[in-house]
Structure 1
Amino acid sequence: MKQVKLGIIGVGNMGTSHAKNVLEGKVPGLELAAVADRQKNRRAWCRENLPETVQIFEEGTQLLESGCCDAVLIAVPHYQHPILAQEAFKKGLHVLCEKPAGVYTKQVQEMNQEADKYNVVFAMMFNQRTNCIYRKMHEMVKNGELGEIRRVNWIITDWYRTQSYYDSGSWRATWEGEGGGVLLNQCPHNLDLIQWICGMPAKVRGFCKEGLWHDIEVEDDVTAYLEYPNGATGVFITSTGDAPGTNRFEITGELGKLVCENEELTFYKLNENLAHHCASCQGGFDKPQWEVLKVETDGQNEQHVGVMKAFVGAILEGTPLVADGREGIRGLELSNAIHLSSWLGKTVELPINEDLFLEELNKRRENSRIKEEVESVVFDTENSYGSGKGENK
């Protein structure tokens, strides 16, 4: 195989962007062969804007059964991600799944188990792992340059959204259609990165405010307290109601502090181990000395195109992925834990009780508001990449 024939299921905000990237030749070795979307206006857009060689289907299952593709990119509402992925595995198709991996970990566990049965490439669209700043943070933490982590703080409130955004699709911002709010739509990248860089916490206490800033039934404002196995603590704050908002990711370790803000990475490097200084210093108020270093990176940040290049490379040459699809469950478990803690009003331990989470989620799905059928509106995603973030569907 020299060319990978790709089918895109879901031609909304991100599906459209992915299709354009492929058609513009940004991903060598990838050919757009088919698309599928349930919305009439999106299929009409495809007929008007895509080459005649691209087949157009109404249902993703029709595309999977057509035999015209080697791989599929899934960019549909969240509940369908694991369902379509499993059907694709059974057809022998390679899968690149948009975030999140799903809505609840029990379903994603089944997807991962199914992926293990087939000799196919399974990748997750965690495009922020291509960002040179986050890659450098990951490298520095894993190499021990910060020593043992003591504290993690990420305030990521520059996800501002208007009411018209939430009104742009019948599935948006409902428990039944989307399965959550800012945690499931905007923040899967951030939750993936915080666990990729700092590891998974052992306990979570979440506070989710539902419909605080918008007329929606899901959360649009979240504060979560994290406890790590080594005793380190963390705070994660996010919202779609703040403007101009803040994006500051800070990691404190025994050897210094790493701060990511305004697309710059700064290392406050201690001259000695903090624990050693605390135990040996005779001055009660004497702080250890440090130097402030601007951290250099390779400057590379290919985002979605980088993930797709790696996907093609894994299929054609067996080279590494940016993110294996099975890794999607980690950030989702953190999201589920924050939700479950907020719903129960108490701290929860990880791994969470998956059955209890699904039970609580289904209570909310039963009472989910039914929106009148809305034809999906596709927004210009270029203005939504503040601080280098990827956009939601």
Structure 2
Amino acid sequence: MDKVRIAIIGVNNIGTVHATYLAQHQIKNAELVAFCDHNVKHLATAKEKFGSQYKFYSDTDEVMKDPDIDAIIIATPHYSHPELSIAGLNAGKHVLTEKPAGVYTKNVREAINVSHEHPELTYGIMYNQRMNPVYQKARQLVQSGAIGELRRTNWIITNWYRSQSYYDSSSWRATWAGEGGGVLLNQDPHQLDLWQWICGMPKRIMSFVSFGKLRQIEVETEVTAYAEYENGATGVFVTSVTETPGTNRFEIVGSRGKIVIENNQLSFWQSVVDEQQWNQEYKGGFGEPEVWKIDVPAVWDDQTGHAKTVQNFVNHIVDGEKLVSPAADGILGLSISNAMYLSTWQQQWVDLPIDEDEYLTELKKRIATSKSKHDGQQ
């Protein structure tokens, strides 16, 4: 395949972002050919903005049947991501889904299993922050052993400020039936993915999730979670949509070094001697290992992550380039957020991997009492 012909499903908000760089031919070997949205007003807006030379569908079934469409980008509300992914894969389309991979791991796993039945197709997820060289360098430092054995991770990510007006903008937002969660499911999927991508999956979670705190919504606005890893390392994840000014600071501490990521800058300190070795050998009372501050080159423009993710997706289809964000990875960060909800609902530790049926049972209880239904657009 020399050129990948792409349709965007869901053309409001983030779908328009993807359409813009595709329409401007910024993605090599790719062509935007169609838009799909059940809201005819959104389609009319897209036609006015991008031109009438594209195909415009109000029914996803028509997209799946179109032989002139090779791939779809899914930019719809969260619950529909696995459903549309399965439909696309079964129709022979390559699929790139927006985050999160879904609302609960059980149906995401179903989509992943379908993708295994179609190894000739590419199934990716829009984890555009994996294109950030700051996080790529952090992952390299951790996985290469440069910081030694993992000891502690702390991520404070509270610069997601959202007003009541934002939540009132769509009937599906911030409801269990329409969105399936709040800050963990809408704003934090990138951080939860990066957390496990860089540091690995924790073995269990204890969390304290506040639902509807300081906002008139059903879902969570603030979270403080505590994680434990297999080797005894610990982690803390703090997030909120009600703080201003907010903070985005990620610390990773190992037995031989520390990484701090803040303001899109990576700082790295490395001990000359591993702490465990120093502790065993040092006999001088007060003292600690010599530490070097090391400059690590990592520059991020903070603008092109979406386009780079789509280019990687297209390259994987065309010439087999390694896929940076396979959709199968989407279940990992989602498992962490599902565990955080379940821990709060049950007021206890939750082991990973979670009991998927148990989580879905608890989620359905919230959906049953949800006051709003989604209108189908992101």
- C-alpha offsets along residues 336-377 of structure 1, whole Å, 9 cap, x if unaligned? 011110110011101111101000000000000126x8796x
Answer whether contact 1:101 1:332 (CA < 8 A) is retained.
yes
Corresponding residue number in structure 2 for 1:385? none
CA distance, structure 1, for counterparts of residue 68 and residue 375 of structure 2: 30
Corresponding residue number in structure 2 for 1:39? 39
Where structure 1 has 5 or more consecutive residues not aligned to the other structure, the ranges are 377-392
CA distance, structure 2, for counterparts of residue 162 and residue 367 of structure 1: 24
Q: Supply the AA of the counterpart residue of 2:265.
A: E
Deviation at 1:147, TM superposition (A): 0.8
Corresponding residue number in structure 1 for 2:244? 243
Q: Supply the AA of the counterpart residue of 2:6.
A: L
CA distance, structure 2, for counterparts of residue 59 and residue 274 of structure 1: 60
Q: TM-score, normalised by structure 1?
A: 0.93
Q: Give the stretch that moved more between structures: 243-252 or 289-298.
A: 289-298
Q: Supply the AA of the counterpart residue of 2:155.
A: W
- C-alpha offsets along residues 119-174 of structure 1, whole Å, 9 cap, x if unaligned? 20111100000001000001111111001100000000001111111111111100
The alignment partner of 1:110 has SS state of helix
Q: Supply the AA of the counterpart residue of 1:163.
A: Q
Q: Supply the AA of the counterpart residue of 1:68.
A: D
2:333 to 312, 322, 331: 331
**Does 2:346 correspond to 1:350?**
no
Q: Summarize the Cα distance change of 1:197–1:375 in structure 2 as closer, same or farther, 3 Å threshold.
A: closer
- C-alpha offsets along residues 180-206 of structure 1, whole Å, 9 cap, x if unaligned? 000100000000000000000001001
Answer whether contact 2:255 2:275 (CA < 8 A) is retained.
yes
Answer whether contact 1:168 1:374 (CA < 8 A) is retained.
no
Answer whether contact 2:172 2:372 (CA < 8 A) is retained.
no
**Does 2:111 correspond to 1:111?**
yes
Deviation at 1:276, TM superposition (A): 1.0
Answer whether contact 1:123 1:311 (CA < 8 A) is retained.
yes
Which residues of 2 match residues 24-173 of structure 1 at below 5 A? 24-118=24-118, 119-173=120-174
Which residues of 2 match residues 240-279 of structure 1 at below 5 A? 240-279=241-280
CA distance, structure 1, for counterparts of residue 209 and residue 299 of structure 2: 37
The alignment partner of 2:186 has SS state of coil
CA distance, structure 1, for counterparts of residue 297 and residue 82 of structure 2: 38
Corresponding residue number in structure 2 for 1:182? 183
Aligned length: 376
Corresponding residue number in structure 1 for 2:324? 322
Deviation at 1:41, TM superposition (A): 2.3
Q: Supply the AA of the counterpart residue of 2:353.
A: P
**Does 2:294 correspond to 1:293?**
yes
The alignment's C-alpha RMSD in Å is 1.5
Answer whether contact 2:343 2:350 (CA < 8 A) is retained.
yes
Identity %: 45
Deviation at 1:298, TM superposition (A): 5.7
Answer whether contact 1:225 1:236 (CA < 8 A) is retained.
yes
CA distance, structure 2, for counterparts of residue 112 and residue 375 of structure 1: 23
Answer whether contact 1:337 1:348 (CA < 8 A) is retained.
yes
1:362 to 352, 361, 364: 364
Corresponding residue number in structure 2 for 1:390? none
Corresponding residue number in structure 1 for 2:2? 2
Corresponding residue number in structure 2 for 1:380? none
- C-alpha offsets along residues 5-42 of structure 1, whole Å, 9 cap, x if unaligned? 10100112110000001011111111111111122321
Deviation at 1:68, TM superposition (A): 3.0
Q: Summarize the Cα distance change of 1:202–1:140 in structure 2 as closer, same or farther, 3 Å threshold.
A: same
Corresponding residue number in structure 2 for 1:230? 231
Q: Supply the AA of the counterpart residue of 1:312.
A: V
Q: Summarize the Cα distance change of 1:113–1:220 in structure 2 as closer, same or farther, 3 Å threshold.
A: same
Q: Summarize the Cα distance change of 1:110–1:375 in structure 2 as closer, same or farther, 3 Å threshold.
A: closer
- C-alpha offsets along residues 195-236 of structure 1, whole Å, 9 cap, x if unaligned? 000000001001110111211100010010000000000000
Q: Supply the AA of the counterpart residue of 2:31.
A: E
- C-alpha offsets along residues 303-356 of structure 1, whole Å, 9 cap, x if unaligned? 001100011101111111121111111000011011110110011101111101
Q: Summarize the Cα distance change of 1:375–1:72 in structure 2 as closer, same or farther, 3 Å threshold.
A: closer
Where structure 2 has 5 or more consecutive residues not aligned to the other structure, the ranges are none
The alignment partner of 2:185 has SS state of coil
Q: TM-score, normalised by structure 2?
A: 0.96
Answer whether contact 2:178 2:372 (CA < 8 A) is retained.
no
CA distance, structure 1, for counterparts of residue 20 and residue 74 of structure 2: 15
Q: Supply the AA of the counterpart residue of 1:322.
A: V
Q: Give the stretch that moved more between structures: 269-278 or 94-103.
A: 269-278
Corresponding residue number in structure 1 for 2:221? 220
